[in-house]
Amino acid sequence: MRHGKRFNHLGRQPAHRKATLSNMASSLILHKRISTTVAKAKALRKYVEPMITRSKDDTTHSRRMVFKYLQNKESVKELFGDIADKVASRPGGYTRIIRIGNRLGDNAEMCIVELVDYNELLLEETQTKAKTRRGRRKKSEGSEVQVSDAVIEEAVVEETVEKVEEETTPTDEVVEAATEEATEPAAVEEVVEESEEPVAEAVEETPAEPEAEVAEPEVEVVEAEVEVAEPADEAVEEVEAKVEETTEESGEDTTSEENEGDEPEKEKE
């Protein structure tokens, strides 16, 4: 009668069941991976993991207790040697069950049982993945000090950048002023040229006045004085004579103009 025996009997009598689990445990320790049914794998996990935990304490008593279950010297030696070193830092969960589908024939669910620390591919993947935590960490004093230092450094960098910008702006203004000064003479020259053209046209259109005609002989006299290389006294006398002639001519012109202007006034009277 069962009488509350709720573990899986695996369809075997106690002696047969213990022998099966002992052989499977020895095979797992020696080969690090075996293929079996899911029901046997779950029973094996409860059977072999306490032995692996006991292997962390390498004493004579521990070895004898494990040998009582395994009955295999090679598996005991492997368990207390290489495997104990691998699982020294692991607090349980030494085996992994990987389901591989159903078996042909009886359609039993099959799986692979392996030691976790001997699957190198999965170990590499777990190492590459970043560890994430949902809980918030409390800020320590050291972290606050680091944050304050970082803030101060950022402020100093911003101040230096502003100073550099302020220093560079006057240079830009100087360059702009220099370019404006260089452009101003060209603009002035253009304005002068434009203003000279209308003046020349106006001079050509306006009729010549008597005073302008009178002034021309003086210019010619000055040019003659420069060109003629005579003694100083003779040159001065000639110039005085010419000036007197020009003044007499200009006086006659003015008197004739006054007479012409008086005649219409007399007629009006």
Rounded mean pLDDT of 109-117? 95
**Res 12: pLDDT:** 95
Higher local confidence (pLDDT), 54 or 146: 54
pLDDT in tens, 139-193: 555 555 565 666 677 777 777 777 766 665 555 565 566 666 656 555 556 655 6
Domain boundaries, the chain: 14-125, 208-257
pLDDT-derived band at 43 (thresholds 50, 70, 90) equals very high
Q: Write down the pLDDT at residue 154.
A: 74
Among residues 43, 50, 44, the alpha carbon closest in space to that of 7 is found at 43
Q: Give the rounded distance of the alpha carbon of 54 from its chain centre.
A: 57
Q: Which amino acid is at 158?
A: E
Residues 268, 260, 252: CA angle, nearest 5 degrees: 155
CATH superfamily of 14-125: Ribosomal protein L17 (3.90.1030.10)
Higher pLDDT, 140 or 247: 247
The residue with greater pLDDT, 33 or 165, is 33
**Residue 67's closest CA among 58, 57, 77?**
77
Instruction: Note the pTM of the prediction, 2 decimals.
Output: 0.47
Q: What is the mean pLDDT of the chain?
A: 75
Residue 190 falls in which region: left (phi positive, over 0), alpha (psi -120 to 50) or beta = alpha
- pLDDT score for 152: 72
Are 218 and 212 in contact by the 8 Å Cβ rule? The answer is: no
Give the rounded distance of the alpha carbon of 198 from its chain centre: 61
Given a cut of 80, is residue 107 above it in pLDDT? yes
> In the chain, what is the greatest distance between 2 CA atoms, to the nearest angstrom?
172
For residue 96, give the 3-state DSSP assignment: strand
As a whole-number percent, the residues of the chain with pLDDT over 90 amount to 41
How much is the pLDDT for 75?
Answer: 95
In single-letter form, the type of residue at position 134 comes to R
The alpha carbon of 238 is separated from its chain's Cα centroid by a whole number of angstroms, namely 91
